[in-house]
Amino acid sequence: MLCEAVAIGTAQWLMGLVARAQRMSLAGLSTDTIVLITWLGGALLGGLLLACAVLLLRTAVRDRLGGRPVRAVLAGSLVANALLAIVAVGMFGWAAFAAAMAVFGLVLLVMTAYPPPQRGAGAHRPVPGRPGAAPDTADKRPGDGGRAGSAGGAPDPTAGPAGPAGPAQPGAAGEPVAVVVSATDR
């Protein structure tokens, strides 16, 4: 991403120099206006890609993607990378297209690998599979309130079919309540 930012900024600067040297004009615009627009476009696009590189570096160091503004900037960089890939295939060939799409895929991977931050009561729960995560709860069965039985995960034979406290109530003991509504239920 950093290499893309430098390459885009340098290419736009060189195009501005070429436009100035050849005294180009377009639809009555002066040469200086075209050069200024070219340089501003290169600075903005290079700045976006540089900001994305910094955000990705911060994500790698903190092992956490930021909130909505960070995701919005990265989504903007995905659009920019897709457009750059389309232009690259026409100007430089399929190898440049493959490189741009590799960057696209890596940024997309970062955005999908880190879930969005949660708001509310469960906001500070660690993500399973990451360092510092809660132990695996695979031995819990739905409907038993987390009472899987002994250490081996076998149910308690003296508890009966519904467990020692009777049938589990939806939402009891922190269990989520799921409501499924289909189109035919309306």
Residue ranges of domains in the chain: 2-113
Place of tokens 């729960």: 125
Closest CA to 52 of 4, 96, 122, 116: 4
Cα 83–Cα 75–Cα 94 angle in degrees, nearest 5? 30
Q: What is the pLDDT of residue 8?
A: 84
Q: What is the pLDDT of residue 7?
A: 85
Cα 127–Cα 133–Cα 136 angle in degrees, nearest 5? 100
Residue type, 127: V
Query: How many Å apart are CA 100 and CA 89, to the nearest integer?
Result: 9
DSSP 174: G
pLDDT < 50 positions in the chain: 146-150
